[in-house]
Amino acid sequence: MCKPRRLLIVAILAIAGSTAALGPARAGGSSGAGQPLPVSAASLTQQGQQLVWKVELATPFSPEGLAMEGRTVCLLVEPTTKGSVGVRICISGPARRSRTPRLFYTPLAGGSSAPRLVAATVTRSSTRELTASFMPAAVGLDYARLRWQVISTLPARACLPPTPSPAGCFVTFPPKPALIRLHEPRLVGCVPSGPAWVFQGPKNAREIALTFDDGPWYDTARFLDVLEREHVLATFFQIGDQISQYAQHGLDRRMLKDGDMIGDHTWNHSAVAAAGGAGAVTEISRAAAAIRGATGGFQPCLFRAPGGNVTPRLLRTARALGFTTIQWDVDPRDWATPGTTEIYDNVVRNAHDGAIVIQHDGGGNRSETLAALPLEIHTLRREGYRFVTVTELLGYRLLYR
């Protein structure tokens, strides 16, 4: 077995503003104004499709306080494959109108790079601890064998000359990089719970779910390009008889690999679904079968009726088939092509905690929606929103194999 090469620790130690490539680090002593905050415990594990990072310091800390003092607490991750580039993932304070800490990452490559926001779920059970979960792709990583280490650093000014050595400017945990082997999981389903008919999610978190109807379509891949570039997750409600034509070349598998969610939008968008009964069973079941075929076995648990037209009978039918019926509470009516600005303004103006936004990636010319999408993302992100799938918004359990 090959001995793992050193983890490249590229951290802002600010010794003349430069970066350093270091091996396993020495602790800088107990906490205090002249010492890094000591790390008591840390772990990096895989849960389903996500990486879960847990870190606990020996003393209470706040992300805002770290920033004010110029300190950092970061996770360093590097693939073991020769020539691969690792990343530094650092804790940061919340966005405006939010109380949730954020993560930013920077590639551990030569030269400088602006930190990028990580699409992560961040929670705290105490003032000493932080837990974050995120897709590997959200920080530019693949499912592979990784080395990892947590680094806690002093403010830059504390490490300027005449400090004789950078060793006292940081501590690491564990002292030597640890290994984790990621496997690429296969998502096979989700478990609905709670109400059978949902318009919005909980309002206790600054989260929002973007949903897209009437695909797959010839432009759907371009929507995925935007979401991947922005590290945003979304939910796609698909029409079954369009899957064989437009979901070629692994489009649906790409969605699931990215962490997006796929929902059922009937077989051919027929209004007969609103009647419930045998017609609805056929429409929903045929679409679900097409989704299973395109994804290699994923059974959706989200259903959206064409036009949102539902009856009590249809709701009962969908739930009996294992679906929650998903409506929406933010609708820019992009299907009517009102213009990119109007679509953007409507979404941003009506966004709120727990909102479910409906837009369309199929069914016509969706260039206006496509152009509005990155504008919506940038503005809502500045407002402190985190983008989640409908299943995550509602707290549904995902099934992997």
Catalytic machinery residues = 213, 360
Measured distance CA(64)–CA(124) in Å, rounded: 14
- The tokens for 241 are 């008889």
- Amino acid identity, residue 201? G
Cβ proximity of 120 and 136 under 8 Å: no
**Of all helices (H) and strands (E), which one includes residue 55?**
strand 50-57
Measured distance CA(148)–CA(158) in Å, rounded: 26
Measured distance CA(197)–CA(312) in Å, rounded: 10
Cβ proximity of 366 and 217 under 8 Å: yes
Residues with Cβ < 8 Å from 349, sequence gap 6 or more?
none
Closest CA to 231 of 30, 3, 388: 388
What is the DSSP pairing of strand 324-326 with strand 235-238?
unpaired
